Structures are given as C-alpha cells and as structure tokens.
Amino acid sequence: MQTAARRSFDYDMPLIQTPTSACQIRQAWAKVADTPDRETADRLKDEIKALLKEKNAVLVAHYYVDPLIQDLALETGGCVGDSLEMARFGAEHEAGTLVVAGVRFMGESAKILCPEKTVLMPDLEAECSFGIWVARKRRFRRFATNTPTARWGCTPTLPPP
C-alpha cells in the first residue's frame, strides 16, 4: 500500500501582538493521501475488511479522520468517537487487535485500557495540538527546574526536544 505524501497547508496563526511580533502566516503539514477514485476506494475497503476479519481486529476512528475511514469503521463493527470512547470500545470489544485511526496519544490511551490487546496505529507521526502543547509544557518545566535563572514569566528559547 502506498503511503501518503506530506503536504503543506498555509494558515493564519494569530499571535499576541507586541512591538516585535504581529500576526504571521505559518505552515502546518499533514500526510494527506490523494482521494482515490471509486474503484480504488472500493478495492482498498475490501482488502481492509478482509484483513480485519483475518487478523481478528477492529477499527476505531476519531471524529476528525477522513469520512471514508469513519464509514469503514462503522461498516466493520468498529466505532467512531472521541479518544475515550475509542479506548473504551476497544477494551470491551472481543477482537484481539485494535486499529486506532487517530493521533498517537489515542493509541496510547487504548493500550492503557486494554494492555492484553495488540494496538496498531496507521501513522505513528500523527499528533494534535494538545499533545504537542503538553510536551512543550513538560520541557519548559524541566528547563525551569534545572536552570536557576529561569522565571515563569520569561519566554526562554527552549532546547530541542
């Protein structure tokens, strides 16, 4: 199966306006596959359905993933929901393997609720802004704890992760 190409999307990201900064255009990237034609989409759905059955797996999809993936989850006895609903559904489902179509922390949450199951993530690089924010906050706390001159009111340049 071909992996999706990484594409870049421009968006407006408002920043707090100060004498040295103003609203700027930023870029976000995402791996977005080209929309397949109907015949290809049907063939891929059939292949995925067969694999889910063969591997005793169930597909759970987040509300934010592509509608084709959401439909596939519902057609195969999986679910579409938020991260907690996906993890709960996976823990209660009889399948031995849970395929999580969502961001990384959703797969991690599912594994916490059902440690005996195999949890698969189609894209390990999938992240969300909340997960990135939490990681940055943790990095700042480590930086502030280990740097005596750091103050919570400052805006230091953080070391790379």
- Output phi, psi for 72, to 5 deg: -65, -40
32-41, 126-135, 150-159: which range is least confident on average?
150-159
Provide the domain limits for residue 89.
Answer: 38-120
Q: Which residue has the tokens 């189609």?
A: 122
In a domain, 33, yes or no: no
Task: Answer yes or no: is 54 within a domain.
Answer: yes
- How many whole angstroms separate alpha carbon 151 and alpha carbon 16? 20
**Per the domain annotation, does 4 fall within a domain?**
no
| Rounded Cα distance, 43 and 35, in Å | 13
Name the domain count of the chain.
1
Q: pTM surpassing 0.75?
A: no
Separation of alpha carbons 114 and 120, rounded Å: 12
Residue 61 has pLDDT above 70, yes or no: yes
Beta bridge partners of 21: 18
Q: What is the pLDDT of residues 11-46, one digit of tens each?
A: 555 444 444 444 444 444 456 677 889 999 999 999
Report the distance separating Cα 109 and Cα 74, nearest Å. 21
What is the per-residue pLDDT for 51? 96
Read off the amino acid at residue 34: D
Question: In the block, which residue shows the tokens 């993936």?
Answer: 69
The verdict on residue 45 lying in a domain is yes
> What pLDDT is recorded for position 57?
97
